[in-house]
Amino acid sequence: LARIALDAMGGDHAPAAAVTGALLALRDFGGSDTIQLVGRGDVIRAEVDRQLATDFARLKSEAKRIEIVHAPDVIEMTDKPSVAIRGKKHSSMVVGLRLQPEGLSDAFVSAGNTGAQMAGSTFILKLHEGLTRPAIGTMFPTMRDHLVVLDSGANVDCSAEELVQFARLGSVYAEDILGRKKPSVGLLSIGEEAEKGNAVVKAANALLRKARSEGINFQGNVEGRDLPIGASERGPIDVVVCDGFVGNVILKFYEAVAPMIFGVLSRHGVTQQQLSEALEDFDYATVGGAPLLGVRGVSIIAHGKSSPEAIKNALKVAARCVESRMSDHIGQRLAQSAAKHQGAA
DSSP designation for 138:
E
Identity of the amino acid at 265: L
Distance CA 276, CA 284 (A): 13
Which residues contact a second copy by CB under 8 A?
A: 142-143, 153, 156-157, 188-190, 197-199, 201, 223-229, 242-246, 248-265, 267-270, 274-275, 277-278, 281-282
Q: Is 329 helix (H, G, I), strand (E, B) or coil?
A: helix
> Which CB sits closer to a second copy, 72 or 191?
191
Shortest separation between residue 244's beta carbon and a second copy, angstroms = 7
Shortest separation between residue 307's beta carbon and a second copy, angstroms = 18
Contacts of 292 (CB under 8 A, 6+ apart): 117, 118, 121, 134, 135, 136, 154, 299, 300, 301
Distance CA 65, CA 32 (A): 8
Q: CA nearest 317: which of 340, 341, 295, 299?
A: 299
> Which CB sits closer to a second copy, 181 or 268?
268
> Which CB sits closer to a second copy, 143 or 338?
143
> Which CB sits closer to a second copy, 1 or 270?
270
Shortest separation between residue 234's beta carbon and a second copy, angstroms = 16
Shortest separation between residue 159's beta carbon and a second copy, angstroms = 13
Shortest separation between residue 231's beta carbon and a second copy, angstroms = 11
> Which CB sits closer to a second copy, 11 or 247?
247
Q: Which phi and psi angles does 57 have, rounded to 5°?
A: -55, -30
Contacts of 274 (CB under 8 A, 6+ apart): none
Distances (CA, A) of 307 to 56, 78, 294: 16, 21, 27
